[in-house]
Structure 1
Amino acid sequence: MIAKVDYIEGMARGLAVLESFDTERQRLNATIAAQRAGITRAAARRHLLTLAHLGYLESDGSHFWLSAKVLRFSGSYFASARLPRLLQPTLNRLASFTADSFSAAVLDGDEVVIVARSGPSRVMAYGVHLGARLPAHATSTGRVLLAALGKAAFNGWLRGRELPRLTVHTVVEPKAFRSLVEQVRQQDFCAASEEHELGVHALAVPLRDMRGRTVAAMNVVAGSHRSDKGSLARDMLPVLQDAARELRPML
């Protein structure tokens, strides 16, 4: 926990406004930004104007949207962060031997963030790119990372949370979802079929460091040559598990 004297509330509010922009709402006015950031309209307006002045937003006078300058943050992360640099060669190697696509992700709240990926773009699910944020409850990597939280932490994550239905196959009922995560915890991998996007089958395993802590999840997304998650698990689970063991001493 940070000491109250060290907490800069204005910075926190400004970042909350910046995080209000997402794929559902690319353009915001002060009223909507205030609702999404949990601050007053007047405060939201000041933050929007300041961010626009600094070049992180563009505006037509009433609505605001992200500018390319925000990519400085993600670009700096991918260029300097240790985890993506460690994982990328392994993902490249796996993708070179198959027609499938491989990714690594970390958990951030109710989403997973893609920090490394490799493989043919035609195989990737819609919107899957470096830095992409995907719903944790409907993805193989998300369930692996949720299972790694431990039972108490996972119960806290799930309590009071509404799980959006993304396809007809998405598991959204809390009791059923809790059972799925417990199954992942027991078997130490997750196969997810058409829950995030129709026609997409994925398989994920945890990536652990030498102390046994799960630092990320690695998955494979099936190409059109695979028609079900059963064949994906049979063919690719040993490949992912071997790669996870090889990576462990470096994580």
Structure 2
Amino acid sequence: MAKEPDYRSNSLLRGLSILECFNLRRPEMTLTEIAEAISVTSSAAYRFVVTLEREGYLTRHENRYRLAPRAMDLGYRYLASLDVSDLARLPADALRNETGFTVHVSILEGTEIIYVYRALSDRAMVSNVPVGSRLPAFSTTMGRVLLSDLPEADLDARFAGYAFSRMSSAAPGSLAELKPLLRADRERGYVAQSSHLATGTFSIAAPLVSRHGRYVAAMNLSGHEQQLRPDAALIGKVLDAAREVSKML
């Protein structure tokens, strides 16, 4: 039997093993201790540690390293994504019942959003994106909301070499075009616009914010543009529902 090729990256494995070295007993480690823990030379460990430090996963004080907030944020975002669909269920259903429009909840992964919950409307003209669907974040209201929470360096890293395949001329065609939109989205606190992906659909999206102030997910109200009018009252209902979920995060 032919041996199955091994596509694993040893460098990535080493980097992950360094992050796993830190725990309650060893919250801080020297370079020598890290090298011993992952069974490499100090010079090899240094390359991995410098990379992790520059990318924001490790922080250094004098000659000792510890996990930086970005490393801990990875675990927090994962745990939050597991819970957010359950926490958002009742407020999302209530918003659907009150407005008659479909409500979706999504999280951000890389440059895409993943739909994790849907409260489906019974209207004849309905917005219906199944749970588990992935869509480009730059072309969606929920994606725009979630991207607006990211530092500029994070945006640059995520979209390095990214092809902005626009399905609408209204969608941004580059990261340079996207960034000012995100700044305005962040200041406004929500995104309301016609869909760049589904003709005739309009949606209003707001962030689901953790107690630490991070956007862990987004919620939108979505329907046919002939029925859904983005007036202040309707936008307020979406923001109120999002705040209700945020209190539980």
Same fold (TM over 0.5): yes
| Gap regions ≥5 residues in structure 1 | 8-76
Matched, 1:245 2:246: no
1:244 aligned partner, one-letter code: A
Shift of 1:173: 3.6
**Residues 89-138 of structure 1: CA deviation (Å, up to 9, x unaligned):** 11111111112111110011121001111022655446x11111111110
2:234 equivalent among 230, 233, 236: 236
The answer for the alignment partner of 1:152 in structure 2 is 153
The answer for the alignment partner of 2:187 in structure 1 is 186
Shift of 1:233: 4.6
88-97 or 145-154: which moved more? 145-154
Distance (Å, rounded) in 2 between the aligned partners of 1:147 and 1:238: 19
- TM-score, length-scaled by structure 2: 0.63
Question: Is the contact made by 2:202 and 2:225 (CA closer than 8 Å) also made in structure 1?
Answer: no
Distance (Å, rounded) in 2 between the aligned partners of 1:202 and 1:237: 10
**Residues 28-63 of structure 1: CA deviation (Å, up to 9, x unaligned):** xxxxxxxxxxxxxxxxxxxxxxxxxxxxxxxxxxxx
Shift of 1:6: 7.1
**Residues 141-162 of structure 1: CA deviation (Å, up to 9, x unaligned):** 0001111112221232233322
Determine which structure has more spread, i.e. the larger CA radius of gyration.
Answer: 2
What SS does structure 2 have at the residue aligned with 1:175?
helix
Distance (Å, rounded) in 2 between the aligned partners of 1:94 and 1:135: 25
What SS does structure 2 have at the residue aligned with 1:137?
helix
Choose between structure 1 and 2 for higher RCO, CA contacts under 8 A separated by at least 6 residues. 2
- TM-score, length-scaled by structure 1: 0.63
What SS does structure 2 have at the residue aligned with 1:247?
helix
Distance (Å, rounded) in 2 between the aligned partners of 1:106 and 1:124: 22
Distance (Å, rounded) in 1 between the aligned partners of 2:186 and 2:15: 40
The answer for the alignment partner of 1:60 in structure 2 is none
What SS does structure 2 have at the residue aligned with 1:250?
coil
Question: Is the contact made by 1:167 and 1:197 (CA closer than 8 Å) also made in structure 2?
Answer: no
Shift of 1:194: 2.9
Matched, 1:175 2:176: yes
Distance (Å, rounded) in 1 between the aligned partners of 2:168 and 2:127: 13
Distance (Å, rounded) in 2 between the aligned partners of 1:200 and 1:213: 28
Shift of 1:184: 0.6
Question: Is the contact made by 1:111 and 1:133 (CA closer than 8 Å) also made in structure 2?
Answer: yes
Shift of 1:175: 2.6
How many corresponding residue pairs? 176
Change (3 A) 1:123 1:6: same
| Gap regions ≥5 residues in structure 2 | 1-10, 18-77
User: Post-superposition, which runs of at least 4 consecutive aligned residues in structure 1 deviate over 6 A?
Assistant: none
